[in-house]
Structure 1
Amino acid sequence: MLFRLTVSAIVMTVVSFGSIIGFAQFRLRSKATGTSVSVKHDGLEREYRIHVPENLPADAKVPLVVCFHGGGGNSRTASVMGLTPVADREGFIVVYPNGIDRHWNDGRESPMFAEQDQSIDDVGYVMGLIERVCKKHPIDRDRIFAAGLSNGGFMTQRLAIEHSDTFAAVAVIIATMGEPLSKRFEPKSPVSILFMNGTEDRLVPYEGGPVGKPVTNRFNQVKGHEDAPRGLAISTDEAVALWVKHNQTQPEPKVELVPDTNQEDHSHIESSLWVGGERGTAVMLYKVVGGGHCLPGGSQYFPARLVGYPNQDVKGFDLVWDFFEKHARQPQ
């Protein structure tokens, strides 16, 4: 019994430190995709992976998707999460940026990462990366998109707010919006946005609050911030409402049930779509009822008692690309 409790505590500690997405994806599918590229930014050596499908048309501009790994991950783990096959099938370039020390400065102002966040310019790095890729490849600037999971989802949210003139649409997966960002939510342009969150997420609560709160305070390592060492997030519904208002969509969504094709995954998905926004923008919410801190279609990478259940009715990145494809930036 003591051994079992000790193992559970250790696993929960790993989970609570935000390493689950990167660790699990690397463990389950370790062969990276794309080509690694090193760049200098702000005096630091930075890295990203880029995947350019072989069948891209030679005479046409193509979409670009920037995909962010979760906390504890890196560009390599992001490249095996399942977006690369979609890029090959649908014909777009995908870039997987690499965070510093497996973390993104995502706007939560997390006490645990305060020192790193003050010194690392992740936003500037990503925007410079996009410019670099646009200069080297025929990118359609009206079809630049971003997607991210967990810490990467929060980072995607920050970019959509602070650089709304660049991104036509973004996807925030198993993440919402850092509470500090919500207090200065003033995007300059409308942005189509998709949320994909589980109601039983143990790390990023659907209803908001402390992110990745550890099972016991002795694992916090942040004195004076025992309740929320990794910062606070607003609820999914609050984040959705901010974007519905900003994009000036129709006030009532079209609500549908995604076919519950897998009766053993402990979850089903409700979709809500707000349309009619400024410049053709929309807001989409995939509410994974019963789902955990997992990409739909992914594996049960840790016991359900720690991270919840992954929905198996859909493949998450297929839904993301379907949304992106319909929401290129329209002229003013």
Structure 2
Amino acid sequence: MNRLRYIPFITWFSLLALANAQSSDESLTAQRQAFRLSENLRSTVAEATPEERSSSIENNQKTLTSGKYVVTQSWSQEKKYPRPYYVNVPKSRTLESTDKHNRFPVFIFLHGNGGNARSAMQGFMRRHEKMVNRYILVFAQGYQKSWNIVSERSKADDRGFIETIVQTLATFKNVAPDDFSIMGNSNGAALVNQMAIETTLPHIRNYITGVSQLNAWQHDGEHFKAKGDQNQYHAVAAPMKGKRLMNISGTEDKLVPYHGG
């Protein structure tokens, strides 16, 4: 059976742990620990209002620019609903920030339950200047400030939402299509776990989860499970091989115990 590879490494990811401090279900203890570790569904890209957005996606535009973008989705709660995500592109290129084709890697951040993308973006960019200068940063907004995993307010296809973002951004000439990383905090981390288990996109190299190990829905102790349309987690999943996963948790966390439970 295919298994996700948990790689025990301390890299710059540990410095990014839980950068969004807006979530209602986050653990302060785990934050401190982390920083110490140094429908049938159509998804299309639509243009937001000029006031909300500093750039647009046009067929003849091949360079990604900073601004607000949206993915339009329909599901049981909404029809043709514009779901926003926010992009920040480094202002200049350096040998350290781009590959040999002058393309930037992409880092996607998913907020926790009760959080929001704009606050996450502001806090993250304020704290992590090197990331701002070296990565295209993406902050996606969960419907009703949540991600649909088990019983959250959102019933949207969040995996489809994130996959559409990845596939869209990968088409731009200043984006490295095979160098995406995705990190989530708490409820957002659970969506990162779902992505790691279910997605077949080749673009994402690194999966980082903060304060959310695999839960009993996503892994029953023997098998990985796919969420399914009704969040029943009946089908056994076979994750792609070679994915790199890092989990950051706090040993003193009482809400999400370090050793599970």
TM-score (norm 2): 0.60
Q: Per residue, is there more helix in 1 or in 2? A: 1
Residues 171 and 177 in structure 2, CA contact (< 8 A), matched pair in contact too: no
Cα drift, residue 203 of structure 1: 2.4
Which structure is richer in relative contact order (CA contacts within 8 A, separation 6 or more)?
Answer: 2
Q: Structure 1, residues 144-196: CA drift from partner, whole Å, max 9, x if none?
A: 11011111111111111112533211111111112111134220222111111
Q: RMSD in angstroms over aligned alpha carbons?
A: 2.5
Residues 25 and 186 in structure 2, CA contact (< 8 A), matched pair in contact too: no
Unaligned runs of 5+ in 1: 1-17, 23-33, 210-332
Give the structure 1 partner of residue 218 of structure 2.
181
Paired amino acid for 1:178: N
CA distance in 1, matches of 2:166, 2:84: 13
Q: 1:132 to 1:102 in 2, by over 3 A?
A: same
Residues 73-82 or 120-129, more deviating: 73-82
Give the structure 1 partner of residue 184 of structure 2.
148
Aligned to 1:77, the other structure's residue is in SS state: helix
Q: Structure 1, residues 276-305: CA drift from partner, whole Å, max 9, x if none?
A: xxxxxxxxxxxxxxxxxxxxxxxxxxxxxx
Q: Structure 1, residues 200-231: CA drift from partner, whole Å, max 9, x if none?
A: 1132222323xxxxxxxxxxxxxxxxxxxxxx
Paired amino acid for 2:121: S
TM-score (norm 1): 0.48
Give the structure 2 partner of residue 7 of structure 1.
none
Cα drift, residue 135 of structure 1: 2.0
Aligned to 2:208, the other structure's residue is in SS state: strand
Residues 63 and 140 in structure 1, CA contact (< 8 A), matched pair in contact too: yes
Aligned residues with identical type, % of pairs = 25
| Greater Rg over alpha carbons, structure | 1
Structure 1 residue aligned with 2:109, among 67, 85, 88?
67
Q: Structure 1, residues 235-273: CA drift from partner, whole Å, max 9, x if none?
A: xxxxxxxxxxxxxxxxxxxxxxxxxxxxxxxxxxxxxxx
Structure 2 residue aligned with 1:190, among 242, 245, 248?
242
Aligned to 2:91, the other structure's residue is in SS state: coil
Aligned to 2:170, the other structure's residue is in SS state: helix
CA distance in 1, matches of 2:131, 2:91: 10
Give the structure 1 partner of residue 157 of structure 2.
121
CA distance in 1, matches of 2:173, 2:115: 26
Q: Structure 1, residues 113-134: CA drift from partner, whole Å, max 9, x if none?
A: 2x733xx100001100111212
Is 1:133 matched up with 2:133? no
Is 1:104 matched up with 2:147? yes
Paired amino acid for 2:162: V
Unaligned runs of 5+ in 2: 1-22, 28-65, 75-79, 225-237
